[in-house]
Amino acid sequence: QKEVEQDPGPLSVPEGAIVSLNCTYSNSAFQYFMWYRQYSRKGPELLMYTYSSGNKEDGRFTAQVDKSSKYISLFIRDSQPSDSATYLCATDSWGKFQFGAGTQVVVTP
């Protein structure tokens, strides 16, 4: 069993819709939770990170962590075609980073 599970998609949504992404993890010791966006043939770029449980909002992006259920989510409001990319969740515990498989998101005009 992978330490971080993420549905690879693809997830297709119409422009303006809310994109909902999620991951589950198995190790309760994970403290930091991150979401990265990766465009084709590019390195991942950090979107958001949260420490422990709770919500964090940044513009159209909202990250949620529920440590009791080991569930992390990313919501993208008012999605745009430029949001089409692969989104990877990641966690960290004592310097050991674990990545999900990445979910491919396609926002259609």
Footprint of another protein (CB under 8 A): 8, 31-32, 34, 36, 41-46, 49, 51, 88, 90, 92, 95, 97, 99-102, 104
Q: How far is the CB of 79 from another protein (least distance, A)?
A: 21
Q: Which is nearer to another protein, 79 or 100 (CB)?
A: 100
Comparison of 9 and 60: residue with beta carbon closer to another protein: 9
Question: DSSP string of 20-46?
Answer: EEEEEES-TT--EEEEEEE-TTS--EE
Query: Shortest distance, CB of residue 88 to another protein, whole angstroms?
Result: 7
User: 107: which residues sit within 8 A by CB, 6+ positions away?
Assistant: 12, 13, 14, 15, 17, 19, 79, 80, 81, 82, 83, 84
The residue (of 14 and 95) whose beta carbon lies closer to another protein is 95
